[in-house]
């Protein structure tokens, strides 16, 4: 999902750590206790979570770009206000998540630098372009819908600060999905051209959205420890299936066709989808998606152009602190 670049196996350095502490830690996890920042935790747990939460944060921040693209071109004031609020929410989500990641001991500055240097990843989905207004509807409906599917179980993640951030995020995300579906509904009830635009957006986003859930369970390398530590509660394929089952009827209501002609319903009512093109997924993760370079360039530009603001704010705070010290000394 937003942290799908966790594809390398964690080195197991628990041999170096106190085995008793590790056993006690696992017992707390098994008893559904939450782990808090100052509690003892295995180094690999800290490392996994720092990567996962910071990747999630980077995804929220980069996720502002494809939607920000349409703020000035929203078709009405109502849509514009909603899109502005949504993009502002994504920024807020990024900030809650950076704060949660920092409780593990890495500063936000370091986390952001790692992303800008290309060392940390963000979700593959944000490397696709938003070509028409229908893409904004589709992102809300499907991308945020998939995100909710992934984030609801994270509200029960074993790490307290992450779980609490997710609760706030999920509450706000619901508006995002509904506003997206409303955009789609309006287009589907509009002119033939508008409906065609909605269908075109669905055609382009469907497969990349399914890829958001990450590689199939058979090839996912990091799931075992994450499951044991109760960071992850459902497998990639389980969440993907839940999402597909929830989404098919929504598409039917819109009168749109999911671009997967082979789709059938099994005896239990689950929708079976065709093979996903994992080569495309790997290419996008490796930096070769349609917008990877654009997104990174936009983030770096924004960071560089904001440098003077950070410097000025720091200088002003330092000056004021100095003045206060001087006054106190008089």
Binding site for another protein (CB under 8 A): 36, 38-40, 85, 88-89, 92, 95-96, 99, 102, 107-109, 164-165, 168, 172, 307, 310-311, 313-314, 316-317, 320
Using the minimum distance from each CB to another protein, give the nearer residue, 63 or 214.
63
- Please count the helices (runs of H) and the strands (runs of E) in the chain: 14, 2
Using the minimum distance from each CB to another protein, give the nearer residue, 33 or 238.
33
Distance of CA 295 to CAs 91, 114, 123, Å?
A: 15, 15, 12
Q: How far is the CB of 110 from another protein (least distance, A)?
A: 9
Q: How far is the CB of 142 from another protein (least distance, A)?
A: 24
Q: How far is the CB of 106 from another protein (least distance, A)?
A: 11
Cα separation, 94 vs 176, whole angstroms: 15
Using the minimum distance from each CB to another protein, give the nearer residue, 25 or 229.
25
Q: How far is the CB of 100 from another protein (least distance, A)?
A: 8
Contacts 24+ apart (CB under 8 A), 263-272: 269/245, 270/241, 270/244, 270/245, 271/244, 271/245
Cα separation, 175 vs 90, whole angstroms: 12
Using the minimum distance from each CB to another protein, give the nearer residue, 88 or 221.
88
Using the minimum distance from each CB to another protein, give the nearer residue, 101 or 211.
101
Write the DSSP symbol of residue 215. Answer: S
Q: How far is the CB of 172 from another protein (least distance, A)?
A: 8
Cα separation, 19 vs 295, whole angstroms: 44
Q: How far is the CB of 277 from another protein (least distance, A)?
A: 38
Using the minimum distance from each CB to another protein, give the nearer residue, 307 or 326.
307
Angle (CA) 283 50 212, round 5°: 35
* Among 94, 15, 10, CA closest to 46: 10
Q: How far is the CB of 167 from another protein (least distance, A)?
A: 11
Write the DSSP symbol of residue 260. Answer: -
Using the minimum distance from each CB to another protein, give the nearer residue, 224 or 304.
304
Contact indicator for 212, 125 with CB cutoff of 8 Å: yes
Which residues, other chains included, contact 283 with Cβ-Cβ below 8 Å and sequence gap of 6+?
289
């Amino acid at each position: 999902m937003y942290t799908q670049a966790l594809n390398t196996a964690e080195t197991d350095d628990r041999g170096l750590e106190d085995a008793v502490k590790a056993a006690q830690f696992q017992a707390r996890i098994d008893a559904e206790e939450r782990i808090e920042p100052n509690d003892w935790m295995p180094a690999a747990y800290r490392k996994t979570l720092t990567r996962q939460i910071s990747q999630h944060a980077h995804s929220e921040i980069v996720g502002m770009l494809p939607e920000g693209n349409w703020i000035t071109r929203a078709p009405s004031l109502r849509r514009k206000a909603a899109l502005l609020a949504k993009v502002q929410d994504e920024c807020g989500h990024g900030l809650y998540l950076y704060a949660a990641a920092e409780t593990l001991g890495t500063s936000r500055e370091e986390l952001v630098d790692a992303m800008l240097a290309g060392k940390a990843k963000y979700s593959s989905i944000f490397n696709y372009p938003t070509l028409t207004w229908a893409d904004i509807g589709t992102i809300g409906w499907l991308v945020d819908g998939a995100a909710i599917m992934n984030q609801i179980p994270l509200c029960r993640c074993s790490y307290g600060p992450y779980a609490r951030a997710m609760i706030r995020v999920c509450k706000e995300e619901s508006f995002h999905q509904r506003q997206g579906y409303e955009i789609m509904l309006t287009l589907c009830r509009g002119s033939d051209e508008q409906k065609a635009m909605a269908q075109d957006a669905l055609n382009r986003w469907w497969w990349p959205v399914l890829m958001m859930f990450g590689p199939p369970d058979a090839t996912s390398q990091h799931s075992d420890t994450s499951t044991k530590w109760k960071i992850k509660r459902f497998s990639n394929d389980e969440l993907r299936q839940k999402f597909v089952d929830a989404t098919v009827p929504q598409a039917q209501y819109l009168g749109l066709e999911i671009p997967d002609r082979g789709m059938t319903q099994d005896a239990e009512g689950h929708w079976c989808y065709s093979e996903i093109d994992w080569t495309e997924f790997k290419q996008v993760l490796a930096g070769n998606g349609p917008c990877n370079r654009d997104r990174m360039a936009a983030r770096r530009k924004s960071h560089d152009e904001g440098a003077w603001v950070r410097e000025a704010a720091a200088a002003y705070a330092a000056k004021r602190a100095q003045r206060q010290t001087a006054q106190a000394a008089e």
